[in-house]
Every structure is written in C-alpha cells, then in structure tokens.
Structure 1
C-alpha cells in the first residue's frame, strides 16, 4: 500500500490469486503493481480455485442463465470509503468473480473495469456475464473494435484504453546488455516463418529462441515477466503478429494487436511480422520505420534479416526510436493518468516521480540531451478521439 495518503483512495480488486499463473495475466499484475506504486491504493486479492466444482459449475451456468452464481468467493464487507474501485477483467467469464465486490461498490464513489479480451463475435455468447459490466461506472475495453458494440450491449458508453507495459522493466538501459539472441519468438507463430528460421538455425548458426513446450501457466508470473523482458532486451529481432492471427474464425477477422508490439519496441528489438491493419496501430506507433512488415505466409524472412543486417545505421535508429517512444508514451503510468482523468481525480506525486524516471531513461537512450525529449506533462498523444 502506498504511503502517499493516510487512507487509500483507490481499491484495486485483483484476480492475481485466482488466475495468478496464467501467462496472459502478467501485464494485468504489472499495471496493478504500478498503480500501488504511484497512487494511494489498497490491493484486495481474494483466493479461489477456479477449477473447483462450484466455480466450474457457476461459470458453465453463466453462459445460459440470466442470473450469475457466486463461484465461491466470500462476500467482502466494506469498512471504509474509497474514491475509486478498480478491476481488470481478462475475459468475460472473469466477470462472475466480481459479484463478490457488490458490497464494495457502495463504498466507492466511482467504479472502473478494464476489459482485456472481448471479440465482437463473442458478445452474444457472453451476454449474461457482460451484464455485470453495466454495474460499473466506467468500462474501458482494450480492443478498439469492441467499444461500440459492447456499449450497445451493456447500455452505456464504453471508453477505449490502449494497452501498455512496464516500460522501465523492458528498457535495456541504463546498462544495455549485448544482443546475443538473433530472433526471439514466443506464443503463436507462423508455421512458414518458423520453418524458415529453423532452417537458418540449422544451416547458418542463427540463434533462434522459440517455445518448445505448449502451455499457458507460469511457475511464478512475476519471474516469467522479468524473464521475457530480459530475453527481449538481448534479442536483435522480435517476432510480432496481430492477436490470434492464425484463428480468423475465432476473431471474426477483427484485427487487434496485443502486448508483443509494446514489448518489442520497449526492449529495442527490431520487430518483424505483420503490421496490424486497424485504425489504432498508426496512432500508437506513428514514428517512421516502426517495424518491418513480414506477412505470416511469407517465406523470405531470411532475406529480410540479411538485408537488415547490412544496414547497421537503420537498425540503431529503429532500436533507439522504439525505446524512446515507448518510455514517453506507452508505460502503464500514462494509462493510469487517463483513468484518473475519467474519474475526476488528480494524479498524486508518485505519477510525476515515475514519469521523471521514464524521461531520464528516454534521454539516456536518445543521447541528444534533455531538449530533444518532449514534455511528459502534455496531453497523452495516444488518446483515442
């Protein structure tokens, strides 16, 4: 808990002790931790086994019944007042967990829910879970294509919030390590590109780091995120693709992009892969030479890498620009400022302190002196209009 105020003004309701080993929850925990670092926040993280008979039954029933059952979380009494109740929902099914905070909403002036993954084609399927969202004052989906149809479903306007990461964790500075990994790939991958890179690893000694086991659970989520950051900072090239690019049937061909693009830019690795074809990507990643577009069906990634390897000046510019832009625009603290503005609260000194750290790193990476770095107190450039 922060010591900036005698009493916490933000209550962070976290699912970390319920889904704490799921890889996709890592950025959620990072955001929650940064909120507790920069604001006066209390973390409330109840425990429940989501695979228990009661929880499983409640979730299955939720797809069909208009009334959701408590999956087994104890009711949490409110013993004091907060300005903001804040919660992150990874998937629509998570909303069943928030029934336990019913009593807390009355103790909080404003309630905010971030919704990570919600594809438009799945809205009808999850309609009973989504009724919980209507109880929140502010609903912020991460997926921009979902904002309008979700607003229509729950009966009040949603506001888009872009993804972000812990940019300090992913930044290689102040002591940048040697980039000993040639190509780093994690998660979903193109079969064609993967086979080409395997051949390069076999025939030319390319150090191609990729997943060799399947699974979505971490032994320790914090250690996993730190490991991802350490590997990315040591990588020359970093593979990226839009969300579920290999499952168009599941997404309904809705184009969204995830954390990989932020992680690649923040770490200074050169991103290779598909440039997301939606309205948001060019607003968030609007600097020249953000990445090298390589379609997931392409079989010439070897030629792309060889060409880039011949142009060290271009590589250096791409790396530095990506790091600086992420430090100045895509750390979670900037998203927290947006959330505070929506709730009518002013940032506490911890926000400015973290932005000072981000700016100092950006100046170090840029190398041209403080005058080259823009004022971080201006209106964030990423805001969706």
Structure 2
C-alpha cells in the first residue's frame, strides 16, 4: 500500500485542528506513506495529479460531511485509489450528509469517533463502510508536568454553568485556584496542556441536553476525557451517556458528580487518595489512546482489513 495522507494545514483549518490533525496525520504518513498539503488556490490543483501519482490509498480528516474542496481535488487526482477518512463531528443532524458524501467518495472505511453515530450510520446504511474509532489525544501537548500541581481544577472547554458555579464557589471559599476559559482570552494548545499538567482535577462533561439542537441527544466520549488523563489529572464531572467511557477507561479515574453541582462539595471533600488510580489511567491513555496509536491502528486496518479492537480499561 502506498498511502497519501491529505492535510488541510494550508487551508485555515478550524480552531482545535492543531490537537486533532497533525498528531494523527503526521505519524500516519510516517508509516510508509507521504503527507500531502493541497494548496488553497484552484489554479494550482491541476498539479495535484503529479503529487498524487503512485498513491494506492488516500486518507484524510474532515470536520463533518466532507473535506475542504482542495482535499477533494487531491482525492480525485488519485484516480482509482482506495479512500478512507476520519470524521470529527458526526452529530445526528449531519448523518444524512455524511453518509451521502461517504458513498460518493467511496470511503472504505469512514472512521466515526461517536459510537452512537457509527451505529446509526450502520443501521441506516448497512452496505456502507462505517467503523467506530474513538478520538485520540496529543500526548506531546497533554502530559504530566514536572512541578507541583498548583491548580486545583481546570475546565478547558465548554462549561455547564450550574456545575461551573458550584466549583467556583467551592474554590473561592477554600482559597483554591480554579482555571477556566475566560471571554477574550485564547490560550495556545501548549498553554492549555501546561495548565492541564499542573492541575489536580480536570473537569469533564459530555455535550449536554440543552445543546440538543447541535448534538441530537448524543452523549459521546469527547477528547477532554483523554486530555485530562494524559496530563495526569484526576477527572471530575459527568460520564458520557454512550457507555464509551466504561468500554475504554477505568471508572476509578473519575470523581463522578451531579451535573448541577449539588453534591460537588461533598464529593470533593470526601475524595479519597486516588494518585495510584490516576497514574494507571494516565499510563493507559498515553499507551493506547494517543493519536500516534490511532495512526498505527488505522494503518494496520487499511493494510490487513481487520477491524480495530480497543483494549479494555486496566483493572
């Protein structure tokens, strides 16, 4: 197999692309393939035929229904090569467009990180090629820090306000440092990873019910769970409803609390010594759920055709 891995790094990619695209695409291309970055200008696309010459398989990452047009042009330039992709946001409302684009592009397979979305695509399109592949984590960015964990809790992504307010009150009453995303302050991935590596707790929630217009009711395992554990922090928050966490990660690595924060103070005050469980979970994530490991799994799947099997969580 001669694999061409398409990158959208020249196409003004979406804001969180740096912890999604390069950590997967670069190691995948290093496994006997090559990385191709199509230019944004249509006048340059005819030259893609020379760039894609000899490729027998093409892979890319797309945000939703289809990749950017320059990646489509590069894929077409590969002629009859096999095609596969990873879709980042397979929400219920987007599944019809995702399935149509996958059929038109002859994707075999399309890797889907939400098990709910993958199962629904298979149900609706049994002749399609849709396979569940969980997100990975950039373990170069999210890693345990060398110094003291001087941040009590860190909430990196979208916040659920009742739980956020409860945590804010808890930390203010005890003089603890609580870091969270603030309006107008945009940290780099490296700065976010550094904060996570200094945090004792890393707050996680799945996309919640009030965001149903976007999620369609899906409650997947998102990257935040992996990022916190890869950074060596203990998770605190809410389990996804999909069951993916239980399939992949140890339950003793997360302090579960009510989504409205009613029991937060009681649960935090009673949280027993958990350093061993957190360290085991961190090592498991860094070994089995990095983007580099996903690259190995994808490459093996494309070469052998065998389905990818994820290891169970450590006991």
Secondary structure of the residue aligned to 2:270 is: helix
Which is greater in Rg? 1
Secondary structure of the residue aligned to 1:99 is: helix
2:311 corresponds in structure 1 to 381
CA distance in 1, matches of 2:230, 2:214: 29
Say whether the 8 Å CA contact 1:180–1:234 is kept in structure 2. Answer: yes
Question: Could you say if the C-alpha distance between residues 22 and 279 of structure 1 is closer, same or farther in structure 2, counting changes exceeding 3 Å?
Answer: same
Q: After TM superposition, list the pairs within 5 Å mapping 1:345-364 onto structure 2.
A: none
Secondary structure of the residue aligned to 1:123 is: helix
CA distance in 2, matches of 1:170, 1:17: 24
Say whether the 8 Å CA contact 2:63–2:87 is kept in structure 1. Answer: yes
Matching residue within 175, 185, 193 for 1:205: 175
Say whether the 8 Å CA contact 1:86–1:111 is kept in structure 2. Answer: yes
Say whether the 8 Å CA contact 1:73–1:100 is kept in structure 2. Answer: no
Say whether the 8 Å CA contact 1:31–1:165 is kept in structure 2. Answer: no
CA distance in 2, matches of 1:266, 1:154: 35
Pair 1:195-2:165 in alignment: yes
Give the drift of 1:246: 3.9
2:10 corresponds in structure 1 to 17
1:243 corresponds in structure 2 to 207
1:220-261: CA deviation from partner (whole Å, max 9, x where unpaired): xxxx22222211110001100113554123222122121000
1:65 corresponds in structure 2 to none
Matching residue within 128, 145, 162 for 2:116: 145
CA distance in 2, matches of 1:318, 1:72: 55
Matching residue within 230, 239, 252 for 2:216: 252
CA distance in 2, matches of 1:27, 1:295: 30
Secondary structure of the residue aligned to 1:74 is: helix
Matching residue within 271, 275, 288 for 1:316: 275
CA distance in 1, matches of 2:208, 2:172: 28
1:123-159: CA deviation from partner (whole Å, max 9, x where unpaired): 2366654554x42232111111112332435952211
Give the drift of 1:324: 1.5
Matching residue within 163, 174, 191 for 2:135: 163
Say whether the 8 Å CA contact 2:3–2:56 is kept in structure 1. Answer: yes
Say whether the 8 Å CA contact 2:65–2:97 is kept in structure 1. Answer: no
Question: Could you say if the C-alpha distance between residues 130 and 343 of structure 1 is closer, same or farther in structure 2, counting changes exceeding 3 Å?
Answer: closer
1:340 corresponds in structure 2 to 299
Say whether the 8 Å CA contact 1:131–1:154 is kept in structure 2. Answer: no
CA distance in 1, matches of 2:260, 2:141: 32
Please, which runs of 5 or more residues in structure 1 have no aligned partner?
A: 1-7, 50-70, 347-378
Q: After TM superposition, list the pairs within 5 Å mapping 1:97-112 onto structure 2.
A: 97-106=70-79, 108=81, 110-112=82-84
Pair 1:271-2:235 in alignment: yes
Give the drift of 1:115: 0.9
1:365 corresponds in structure 2 to none
Pair 1:305-2:268 in alignment: yes
Instruction: Output the aligned Cα RMSD.
Output: 3.1
1:234 corresponds in structure 2 to 198
Deviates further, 225-234 or 337-346: 337-346
Please, which runs of 5 or more residues in structure 2 have no aligned partner?
A: none
Matching residue within 331, 338, 341 for 2:290: 331
Give the drift of 1:345: 5.8
Say whether the 8 Å CA contact 1:88–1:113 is kept in structure 2. Answer: yes
1:248-290: CA deviation from partner (whole Å, max 9, x where unpaired): 23222122121000011111111111111223221111x3502
Question: Could you say if the C-alpha distance between residues 291 and 103 of structure 1 is closer, same or farther in structure 2, counting changes exceeding 3 Å?
Answer: same
1:53 corresponds in structure 2 to none
Secondary structure of the residue aligned to 1:253 is: coil
CA distance in 1, matches of 2:310, 2:240: 22
CA distance in 2, matches of 1:273, 1:92: 30
1:285-337: CA deviation from partner (whole Å, max 9, x where unpaired): 1x3502011122123322222222xx3xx221232112111122112233222
Deviates further, 270-279 or 240-249: 240-249
